[in-house]
Amino acid sequence: MSLKAHEIRELFLSFFEKKGHTRVKSASLIPESDPTLLFVNAGMVPFKNVFLGLEKRPYKRAVSCQKCLRVSGKHNDLEQVGYTSRHHTFFEMLGNFSFGDYFKREAIKYAWEFVTEVLKLPRDKLYVSVYRDDEEAFRIWNEEIGLPPEKIWKLGEEDNFWQMGETGPCGPSSEIYVDRGEEYEGDERYLEIWNLVFMQYNRDEKGNLTPLPNPNIDTGMGLERVASVLQNTKTNYEIDIIYPLIEFGEDISGATYGSSHENDVALRVIADHLRALTFAISDGVIPSNEGRGYVIRRILRRALRFGYKLGVVQPFLHKGIDVVVEIMKDAYPELEMTREFVKGVVRGEEERFIRTLKAGMQAVDELIERAREEGRDLLKGEEVFMAYDTYGFPLDLIDEIAREKGLKIDMEGFRVEMEKQRERARKHFKVEVKKVKPVYQHLRDIGKTSEFVGYEHYEYETEVT
């Protein structure tokens, strides 16, 4: 019997506890004190101020399993979801951290001990990478761990040098990969499971690196990826904590997982997005038109569209929330407490969008049909604008559908149409203002107000006329 994901999580946390680490509960997906970041996207985020020396904690070693969402900013894996075997929007990152305590040697040794002795991954299938100038890490892997040089890849800055921002703590990293065999290609064959970051420099405004007096360790390992290796599944989506969601999608749609690439992608997207929605809304994000809320709204609409592709034309996501909660509630008790709330939010949102989706999908399909008949691989700006404006169909969905069918959309043309629309609105507004002028006049006359009180009163004042 292979290890279950919940067991792997617990093995990781207790392994590092035994190595003197304090177990720290996952922080919310909403970053507490980082306005630059929409969602927590790595295990180190809640510890950022500790690494920067701005915050003191009563421990120098910590271990956590952090909820992560990679749907915005520098880390945005949304478009990968469903297509690669290893990317999710929402996933759990296992990590051990040292705040000026142990460093490279221990970090490497702990990681190696965990993967080979606790998880018992076969040594001959493991590869690592180091930053090309990091002789020290190379030597530790080679001489102390005993990996032959051909299994230690030296990579450049892009892959193996990490930095928090333009300035501040940074350093080389070292990653662990599992060779999954010849039937996989490239990154899918050598699956990256664990990233060890050696935070050993500070970068100043001029770009100069100076060594930190007390270097830090930050590591991150994707729980779902490790589970897929141990459970020997082709992708992350067949592991024990995700597969029930694939089955949920099958039940709802009648589609069979494995029957076609298109269906598989759709079922995976639905499974992934259900997890993201459940966790994000449970942490307090409400679908809206801006910021975090907008990201969540997009995810929900995207999931609905993939449902639609499978022939589901009714709201269904709220039913999937129960499946997520059942699987994850022991590890994340907050899910049980917020279950009904999350379901209500999702249900309301999908009921509102489903009609738009139906009409919009038909309109977009017709546009694509017409473009094909005319031998175009481009949807015209005014066509896209029509679907957007008449049906309120989100631009990113139109773009995605077009791309799936091998077509592009004329963004510039779309912008021109948008501008024309604004212009029309402005003119209309001016006319309306002229109409209400007597009202202002009247109000002034009766001494009610002498200042412009803002556009929100506009509606009211036209009503007065």
Question: What are the residues binding ligand ATP (CB under 6 A)?
Answer: 70, 77, 86-88, 91, 93, 192-195, 220-222, 224-225
Contact 202, 209 (CB under 8 A): yes
Give the CA angle between residues 4, 6, 7 to the nearest 5°. 65
Residue at token pair 């939010």: 345
Q: How far is the CB of 436 from Mg ion (least distance, A)?
A: 54
When asked if residue 263 is in the footprint of Mg ion (CB under 5 A), the reply is no
Q: How far is the CB of 132 from Mg ion (least distance, A)?
A: 16
Q: How far is the CB of 74 from Mg ion (least distance, A)?
A: 10
Calpha distance 197→85 (Å, rounded): 24
Q: Which is nearer to Mg ion, 128 or 401 (CB)?
A: 128
461 binds, among Mg ion, ligand ATP, none (CB under 5 to 8 A by kind): none
Q: How far is the CB of 192 from ligand ATP (least distance, A)?
A: 4
Identify residues 133-192 at the interface with Mg ion (CB under 5 A): 192
Q: How far is the CB of 278 from ligand ATP (least distance, A)?
A: 16
Contact 98, 46 (CB under 8 A): no
β-pairing, 168-179 vs 190-203, is antiparallel
Which helix or strand (DSSP H or E) is residue 362 part of? helix 334-373
* Nearest-CB residue for ligand ATP: 222
3-class DSSP string for 232-244 = CCCCHHHCCCCHH
Per-residue binding letters, 186-225, with Mg ion (x by CB under 5 A): ------x--x------------------------------
Q: Which is nearer to ligand ATP, 220 or 381 (CB)?
A: 220
When asked if residue 236 is in the footprint of Mg ion (CB under 5 A), the reply is no
Q: Which is nearer to ligand ATP, 39 or 385 (CB)?
A: 39
Q: Which is nearer to ligand ATP, 91 or 388 (CB)?
A: 91
Burial 32-42 (b: 16+ CB within 10 A, else e): eeeeebbbbbb
When asked if residue 72 is in the footprint of Mg ion (CB under 5 A), the reply is no
363 binds, among ligand ATP, Mg ion, none (CB under 5 to 8 A by kind): none
91 binds, among ligand ATP, Mg ion, none (CB under 5 to 8 A by kind): ligand ATP
3-class DSSP string for 405-447 = CCCEECHHHHHHHHHHHHHHHHHHHHHHHHHHHHHHHHHHHCC
The CB-side HSE value for 332 (13 A sphere, CA atoms) comes to: 23
Q: Which is nearer to Mg ion, 72 or 195 (CB)?
A: 195
220 binds, among ligand ATP, Mg ion, none (CB under 5 to 8 A by kind): ligand ATP
Contact 288, 386 (CB under 8 A): no
End-to-end CA distance of the chain: 76
Give the residues lining the site for Mg ion (CB under 5 A): 192, 195
